[in-house]
C-alpha cells in the first residue's frame, strides 16, 4: 500500500526535475546567444561613409586604371586632408565590372596619418579583372557594402565612376531606386571620352539619386584626379547636403 502511494510521488518528482533541467538548459542557451551581442563593441560614429565604386571594365587599360587609382589615393595623401575628415569619414574602395571586388575594406579616418596610410594602401592594391560594364549590379553591391560598414554614419554615399553606360542584366534606374530607398545617396563621376560624349547626361538621368545627389564630370581620364578630389570634398563638407540632382559641377580647370 505504501509502495503504491510512493510510486506516483517519485514519478512527479522526476517530472519536476526534468522540467527544471530543461528550463536551465533553455536559460543557458539564451545567455549564450545574448553574451556576444552584449560584449560586441558599439558601431563607431562617423559623419560620412563613402564607397568609391571604380570601373575596371575592358575599356579601362593599364594607363587609365593607374590614373583612377592614383587619383583616389591623392585625395588622402594631400596636405590638409585632416580638415576634410571632420567628425570622421569611413572609406571603402570597390572595383566593379562583370562582378565586384572590395580591394580596400572599411577604414575609418580621423587623422592625417590615417588618411596617408590609406593612400599607400590604395596605391598598392592589385587590380580586379573584368570586361563588361554592369553598373546596375555594382550599385547594389556598393549598397550592401555600406550596410556592412562597422560604423554609424550620418550620411551614406556611393561615389560611382566609369567611362560607359550600363550593359548589365538589370535596369540602372531600377537599381538606383532600390539603393536610394535604403537611405543611400548616389553621386556620379562620368569619365567623358570621344567614345561616350553623352555619358554625363546618361549619368544624370539614370545613375545619381537621393537628396543632394550630383554629377561631377571628368573630361577624360587625365581630369579624373581633379574631378574626384572636388567631388569627395563636396560630399564630406556637409553630409547629406549637396547640389541638386541633375546638376553637373565644374569641369576641367575648376578650382577644387
Q: Is 40 in a helix, a strand, or coil? A: coil
Number of H helices, E strands in the chain: 8, 6
Q: Helix %, strand %, coil % for the chain, to 5?
A: 45, 20, 30
What CATH number is attached to the domain comprising 59?
3.40.50.410
pLDDT of residue 36: 44
Q: What is the pLDDT of residue 237?
A: 83
Task: For residues 25 and 52, state if they share a domain.
Answer: no
State the pLDDT at residue 180.
Answer: 98
In a domain, 247, yes or no: no
Assigned domain for 251 exists: no
Q: Determine contact, residues 154/47, Cβ cutoff 8 Å.
A: yes
In degrees and rounded to multiples of 5, residue 140 shows phi and psi of -65, -40
77 CB-side CA count, 13 A: 12
Give me the number of domains the chain comprises. Answer: 2
Q: Are residues 105 and 143 in the same domain?
A: yes
Judgement on whether residues 22 and 99 belong to the same structural domain of the protein: no
The model carries a pTM of: 0.79
How much is the pLDDT for 93?
98
Q: Are 132 and 204 members of one domain? A: yes
pLDDT at site 42: 73
* pLDDT of amino acid 21: 53
pLDDT of residue 40: 52
Q: What is the per-residue pLDDT for 253?
A: 38
Give the model's pLDDT for residue 239. 53
The pLDDT profile of the chain, 256 residues, written as one tens digit per residue, is: 444 444 444 455 555 555 555 554 555 444 444 444 445 567 899 999 999 999 999 999 999 999 999 999 999 999 899 999 989 999 999 999 999 999 999 999 999 999 999 999 999 999 998 999 999 999 999 999 999 999 999 999 999 999 999 999 999 999 999 999 999 999 999 999 999 999 999 999 999 999 999 999 999 999 999 999 999 999 998 655 454 433 444 344 333 3
DSSP notation for 166-183: --SSS-HHHHHHHHHTTT
246 belongs to a structural domain: no
- Same domain? 124 vs 21: no
**Cβ atoms of 43 and 151 closer than 8 Å:** yes
pLDDT tens track for 68-112: 999 999 999 998 999 999 899 999 999 999 999 999 999 999 999
24 and 116 together in one domain = no
Distance CA 139, CA 18 (A): 54
What integer pLDDT is reported at residue 18 of this predicted model? 52
Structural domain includes residue 118: yes
Note down the domain range covering 23. 1-40
Q: Do residues 32 and 70 both lie within one domain? A: no
- 190 with 202: CB under 8 angstroms? yes
pLDDT digits (tens, 9 = 90+) for 166-182: 999 999 999 999 999 99
Amino acid at each position: 500500500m505504501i509502495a503504491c502511494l510512493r510510486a506516483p510521488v517519485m514519478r512527479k518528482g522526476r517530472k519536476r526535475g526534468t522540467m527544471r533541467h530543461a528550463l536551465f538548459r533553455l536559460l543557458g542557451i539564451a545567455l549564450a546567444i545574448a553574451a556576444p551581442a552584449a560584449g560586441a563593441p558599439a558601431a563607431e560614429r562617423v559623419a560620412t561613409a563613402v564607397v568609391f565604386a571604380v570601373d575596371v571594365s575592358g575599356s579601362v587599360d593599364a594607363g587609365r586604371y593607374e590614373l583612377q587609382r592614383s587619383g583616389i589615393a591623392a585625395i588622402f595623401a594631400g596636405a590638409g586632408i585632416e580638415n576634410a575628415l571632420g567628425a570622421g569619414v569611413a572609406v571603402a574602395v570597390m572595383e566593379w565590372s562583370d562582378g565586384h571586388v572590395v580591394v580596400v575594406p572599411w577604414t575609418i579616418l580621423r587623422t592625417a596619418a590615417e588618411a596617408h596610410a590609406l593612400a599607400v594602401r590604395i596605391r598598392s592594391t592589385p587590380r580586379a579583372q573584368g570586361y563588361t560594364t554592369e553598373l546596375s549590379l555594382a550599385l547594389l553591391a556598393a549598397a550592401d557594402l555600406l550596410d556592412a560598414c562597422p560604423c554609424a554614419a550620418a550620411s551614406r554615399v556611393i561615389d560611382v565612376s566609369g567611362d560607359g553606360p550600363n550593359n548589365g542584366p538589370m535596369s540602372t534606374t531600377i537599381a538606383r531606386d532600390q539603393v536610394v530607398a535604403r537611405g543611400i545617396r548616389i553621386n556620379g563621376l562620368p569619365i567623358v571620352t570621344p567614345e561616350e560624349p553623352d555619358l554625363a547626361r546618361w549619368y544624370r538621368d539614370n545613375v545619381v539619386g537621393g537628396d543632394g545627389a550630383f554629377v561631377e564630370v571628368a573630361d577624360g581620364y587625365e581630369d579624373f584626379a581633379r574631378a574626384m578630389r572636388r567631388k569627395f570634398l563636396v560630399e564630406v563638407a556637409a553630409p547629406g547636403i549637396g547640389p541638386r540632382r541633375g546638376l553637373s559641377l565644374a569641369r576641367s580647370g575648376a578650382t577644387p
